[in-house]
Amino acid sequence: MLKTGKLLRLRRLSLAGDDRHLLVPLDHSVSDGPIVPADKWDDLLRALVAGGADGIIVHKGRASALPPDILKSCALVVHLSASTARSADVHAKVLVADVEEALRLGADAVSVHVNIGSDTEAQQLADLGAVARSCDAWGMPLIAMVYPRGPRIEDPRDPDLLAHLANVAADLGADMVKTSVALPLDRMAEVVAGSPIPVLAAGGPPDGSDLVEYGAAVMATGCRGLAIGRRIFSSPSPAALVSRLAAVVHGRPGAPDDNSITNDMNMADYSTIVAGVA
């Protein structure tokens, strides 16, 4: 049985109370460098909140510097893993924070990144298990970001592989799993059906095609949410884009109709669009 604290925090991860989630990862500044100029950071956060994002994902330093008024209607997820694009092994994630730190920062959840198929998979799995144990002790929701990345992965969009990853996350104690989208896209429904925990689809189409239509197509497969960072924070109007995506995630008026998208979209072509999304 989930502890009361975890139940309350899980509720805050869904503004509409429908157990659906639009999360905006902003942890890219550790892996790749600044995502916006320093003096525009608070403006970006306010735009995401104004647009209706359910939560943002940041590292502990960013969380500690948040103006307290910004997240009145948006959940805070503190990311505990890190690596940089300049590492000898970019797939090797290490823990750089813990659950207790996240609690002191007022986090509603924590997230941990695991790359299955990497040279350091064993240590990353051990880290996920340790964080899950701490989350259970403190009543903290855990989002596992589990990806098929590394020298042992032949097809990172294989639905069977992604279903395996979702079960790894569930079996090691995560409450939600964020992972890649399967190809062909309609087979993402198999990943969702095989997962004991809610699946959040990571990323968006990399070719500049319509992100909202992508989101609707992914949600139509049964995913419980979207976790999109780069395409949102690099948008000229993040608030407007988040608002449209939130309508898709939560089924509000103005969202594209799931059935029309599923029926009208050439799924083979769309599979090409989403290939390579992080």
Separation CA 156–CA 203 (nearest Å): 14
Strands 94-95 and 81-82: antiparallel
* Token representation of residue 143: 């989002």
Separation CA 153–CA 135 (nearest Å): 30
pLDDT in tens, the chain (278 residues): 567 899 999 999 999 999 999 999 999 999 999 999 999 999 999 999 999 999 999 999 999 999 889 998 999 999 999 999 999 999 999 999 999 999 999 999 999 999 999 999 999 999 999 999 999 999 999 999 999 999 999 999 999 999 999 999 999 999 999 999 999 999 999 999 999 999 999 998 756 679 999 999 999 999 999 999 999 999 999 999 999 999 999 997 655 554 443 333 333 333 333 333 33
- Paired strand residues for 179: 201
How far is residue 18 CA from its own chain's centroid? 17
Q: Is 178 a catalytic residue?
A: yes
CB–CB of 216/22 below 8 Å? no
pLDDT on residue 271: 38
Q: Is 27 a catalytic residue?
A: yes
> Considering the entire predicted model, what is its pTM?
0.90
Catalytic residue among 6, 93, 127, 147: 147
Which positions ≥6 away from 182 have C-beta within 8 Å?
157, 158, 159, 162, 188, 190, 191
Catalytic residue among 6, 127, 178, 270: 178
Nearest to 45, CA basis, from 54, 56, 32, 60: 56
